Amino acid sequence: MLGAARGRETRRQRELPTDVTALIEAWTLRVGVTLACKSQGVAPRTWRHHQQKKRGELPSRPSRATGEPRRAHPAKLSDAEEQAVLDVLCEPRFVDVGVTEVYATLLDEGTYLCSESTMHRILREHGLSGQRRQSSARVGHPKPRVVATAPNMVWCWDISRLPGPHKGVWFYLYAIWDLWSRKTVGWCIDTTKQPGLLNNSSRGLSSERKWNLTSWSVTRTGAPK
């Protein structure tokens, strides 16, 4: 009822559109009040409220809201007490310490100023909330990127698991392809997962075909050892 205290009608106090009222009255005889109201997006309680208002049977319900600011809690800290808490939180020994550690340290010293949530609220009101602990600045690292300007400079590899003839039996497909041409240069199927097998196969292919392989690229399973 805060809207009534501010001299503004609430949603239930507004009149429903004429066409909506006519549709609800027409369908009430067929499907009932509840379904008729839901079909027009009107709560049955709101419809009952408007009908009572139309017949002059709506009881008087004065708002209990006064529109005045809320009263302060009896246990609320005064301005001087909040300033004292802020001075303690900004002391040199606590300036880069978290609120939880400050709270525990003060309790060990036999001092209780306020709760942790109150400390957070005071810091937030003065724009001092956030990370208070010392930490090294984050250093951005460039994403690793492999570039191939000709065929057989960079090979990519992957291991895919294939279902076997029985439940719990799997085959592993080892595939090697060229980054430049996107062509498969080698593959094999085994019953175990051994990334070292790809490393040996790639060296054999490279030496057999006299290719100058300069780099490896990995899709999911990790670089070969």
* DSSP-assigned states of every residue in 15-51: PPPHHHHHHHHHHHHHH-HHHHHHHTT--HHHHHHHH
**Which tokens hold the place of 102?**
């400050």
Q: Give the strands of the sheet with 154-163, arranged side by side.
A: 184-190, 170-178, 154-163, 215-218
In whole angstroms, what is the distance from residue 126 CA to residue 121 CA? 9
Polymer length in residues for the chain: 225
- Tell the burial category of 24 from Cβ atoms under 10 Å away from its Cβ (0-12, 13-18, 19+): buried
Element (H, E) at 111: none
Contacts by residues 156-160 (CB-CB < 8 Å, ≥ 24 positions apart) = 156/216, 156/217, 156/218, 156/219, 157/198, 157/202, 157/216, 157/217, 157/218, 157/219, 157/224, 158/218, 158/219, 158/220, 158/221, 159/193, 159/195, 159/198, 159/220, 159/221
Q: How far is CA 41 from CA 16, 29, 46, 95, 101, in A?
A: 11, 18, 10, 55, 53
What local confidence, expressed as pLDDT, does residue 112 receive?
A: 93
- Provide the residue-wise pLDDT of the chain in tens; the chain has 225 residues: 444 444 555 555 567 888 888 888 888 888 898 999 888 888 888 888 888 888 888 777 777 777 778 888 888 888 999 999 999 998 988 888 888 999 999 999 999 999 999 999 999 998 888 766 666 677 778 887 888 888 888 888 888 889 988 888 999 888 888 888 888 888 888 888 876 666 665 555 555 554 444 445 544 444 443
What local confidence, expressed as pLDDT, does residue 17 receive?
A: 85
